Chains A and B, each alone.
Chain A
Amino acid sequence: MLEYGWDAGVAISRFLDGLKAGKILGVRCNVCGRTVTPPRAFCELDFKPIDAWVELPDTGTINTYSICYITWDMKPLRKPQIPAVIEIDGTTPRAGFLHLIGGVKGSSVESIRKQLRVGMPVRAVWRKPDQREGAITDILHFEPVRGRRR
Chain B
Amino acid sequence: MSERVAIVGVGAVVPRPQSRDASHREMIFDAATRAYADAEITHHEIDSFISVAEDIHEGTSITDEYVPDQLGAVLKPVQTIAGDGMQGVAVAFALIRSGIADLVVVEAHCKPSNILRHGDVLEMALDPVYERPLRVHPHYIAGLEMRRYLHDTGTTEDAVASVVNKNRRQALANPAAPYGGNVSTSDVLASPPVCEPLRSLEVSSYADGAVVLALASEERARRCPKPVWIRGIGWASDSPWLARREWSDAVYASLASGMAYQMAGIATPTEEIGFAEIDDTYAYKELQHLEAAGLAPRGRAGALTVAGETRREGRLPVNSSGGSLGMGYCFDASALYRIAEVTRQMRGEAGRAQIANPGSGLVISWRGVPTQTGGALVLGSH
What residues make up the interface of A, taking CB atoms closer than 8 Å to B? 1-12, 40-42, 44-45, 47
Contact = CB atoms under 8 A, between A and B. Distances in A.
Interface of B: 19-26, 29, 32-33, 36, 42-43, 56, 59, 68-70, 72, 74, 111, 113-117, 120-121, 124
Contact of B72 (A2, A3, A47): A47
A2 B120 contact: yes
A7 B74 contact: no
Contacts of A45: 74
B70 A2 contact: no
22 contacts: A1-B120, A2-B56, A2-B59, A2-B121, A4-B116, A6-B23, A7-B20, A7-B21, A7-B22, A7-B24, A9-B21, A9-B22, A9-B25, A10-B21, A10-B22, A10-B23, A41-B29, A42-B70, A44-B68, A44-B70, A44-B74, A45-B74
A42 B120 CA distance: 34
Contacts, number: 63
Given A2-B59, A41-B29, A42-B26, 16 more contacts: A3-B120, A6-B23, A7-B22, A7-B113, A9-B21, A9-B23, A9-B24, A10-B21, A10-B22, A10-B23, A10-B26, A11-B23, A40-B69, A41-B26, A44-B68, A47-B36
Given A2-B56, A40-B69, A42-B29, A7 B120 contact: no
A99 to B, nearest CB: 19
Contact of B114 (A7, A10, A40, A47): A7
Contacts of B70: 42, 44
A41 B32 CA distance: 14
Contacts of B113: 7
A5 B19 CA distance: 12
Contacts of A5: 114, 116
Contact of A9 (B26, B69, B74, B116): B26
**Chain A binding site: helix, strand, loop or mixed by DSSP?**
loop
Contact of B124 (A2, A40, A44): A2
Contact of A4 (B19, B72, B74, B115): B115
Contacts of B26: 9-11, 41-42
A4 B68 CA distance: 23
A19 to B, nearest CB: 17
Contacts of B56: 2
A3 B117 contact: yes
B120 A6 contact: no
A2 B123 CA distance: 10
B74 A6 contact: no
Contacts of B117: 3
B362 to A, nearest CB: 33
Nearest to A40: B69
Contacts of A11: 23, 26
A44 to B, nearest CB: 4
A14 B303 CA distance: 55
A7 B33 CA distance: 21
B103 to A, nearest CB: 15
A97 B121 CA distance: 31
B86 to A, nearest CB: 26
A5 to B, nearest CB: 6
Which 3 pairs across A and B sit closest by C-beta, in order of nearness? A9-B23, A44-B69, A4-B59
B6 to A, nearest CB: 23
Contacts of A41: 26, 29
Contacts of A6: 23, 59, 111, 114
Contacts of B74: 44-45
A8 B23 contact: yes
Contacts of A1: 120
A122 B225 CA distance: 54
Nearest to A12: B23
Contacts of B68: 44
A2 B114 CA distance: 11
Nearest to B23: A9
Contacts of A40: 69
A140 B161 CA distance: 57
- Central interface residue in B24, B26, B74, by most chain A CB within 10 Å: B26
- Central interface residue in A4, A10, A40, A45, by most chain B CB within 10 Å: A4
A135 B116 CA distance: 21
